Structure 1
Amino acid sequence: MSAQNTGTPRTNEHGQPIGPALPGWTPRPRPAADQLRGRYCTLERLDVERHADDLYATYSAAPDDSDWTYLPVGPFGSREQYRDWARRQAQNDDPWHYAVVDASTGRAVGTLALMRQDPSNGAVEVGWVVFSRAMQRTPLSTEAHFLLMRYVFDELGYRRYEWKCDSLNAPSRRAAERLGFTYEGTFRQAVVYQGRNRDTTWLSVLDRDWPQAKKGFEAWLAPENFDADGNQRSALRTR
């Protein structure tokens, strides 16, 4: 249920400006889906026995550890270290972790999660985005985000979908903006991780933004948008 800005704020009985009314608003459900299926990938609730070995193998195939620079964990020195971490995460309800499973191979190639869940206000954050080199810059990476956004807005009925990243992580911010997120500001000295400071960039997609973004995702992900070599014919347009 979106609150539309009409330009002139409402006022209360004291003449004070107040926000748009949300008649009938009720708290939203928490994430609970075990599987979100797409054309190129499926999001499956993280399971150590099904996914951890594939994930460790694909992360370890990277030529360097730069994918872990802006994450609070990793890189993992052994398969067992990663399995132990994944086992703890799989037991959480918040974050609610998904493995991204490549539809063409059946192998897990990345993860992402719904976290900082706020059902009362209809807000949730996408986080723990750890996409291996095997899925970066492929339709899988875009579709994985689309499947999660569609679930949050169309099925759960949330009003706000957040993305946060280190303010120095320019690729993360570019990825968010490509996916339709709007920059909202930077929280200075917000986090201490990896023994260093993090200023945190905040971005969001609102429910009123979603219909246009959804059309853009569906058009971009359509098979006819890719040539025989898998190259896109048209760029993603979410605004």
Structure 2
Amino acid sequence: MVAIQFQTVKEPVERDTRDIWQLRQDLLKEKKLQSDLLTEIRSTEEKLAGYESKRTHRKETVLKDTLEELKTEAGLSEITAPGIILTIEPVFEEFMLGEPAGSSISPDLLKRLLNELNMYEAKVISVDGQRVINSTVIREVSAETRIDGHRLVSLPIEVKVAAESMMEAEKLSNRMKASQSAEEFFIENLKLTVSDPMPEITFEAYSNKIRTNNMKPANADEGGDS
């Protein structure tokens, strides 16, 4: 009777012990799973932070590159490119014959020269160290030719012209050597000399202030959908 009672009391104790052990095992598994999840979450957060940092850096790099491209297109950056150099100087033969040699270039003659260079797809133009941009003004002030306020008062004058490549520079040189511009300059007692293509010519940045008085921001509704 005692033995039977002992067995009756003992059996529930064994079941409880087994249940507690199982609970401990399950709890340990859950803790390990939780620890693994936390580790994975931290790793994912670190990766996301790294991606965000790279994306931000990439955006900054793209913005900087775009800004530099815009500055270059606007003529606000110094560049080095293949091209040719045109030299404008007096015709000394005329001076020796008793006729006055050309002492300056007229605004109209300079404009015609620049228009011809642009027609031949000149990439960048510089006149007497002055970068030519879209808003450049060439005019006569007090009997002096000025380009954006810079006085062209003495000869010789160098006109530097950039091309896309050495091949394009060679084409540009050949076209200008065969151009009628030399005759037009000769009529004004000036000599126009065209150089052979050069692999590297440095073009200074535009140094004057760009006027934006007549510009205004475009409205979001203007321009239409593309």
Report if TM-score (shorter chain) is over 0.5.
no
With the length of structure 2 as denominator, give the TM-score of the two structures. 0.24
Q: Which has the larger radius of gyration?
A: 2
With the length of structure 1 as denominator, give the TM-score of the two structures. 0.23
Q: Which has the higher contact order (CA 8 A, sep 6+)?
A: 2
More helix by share: 2
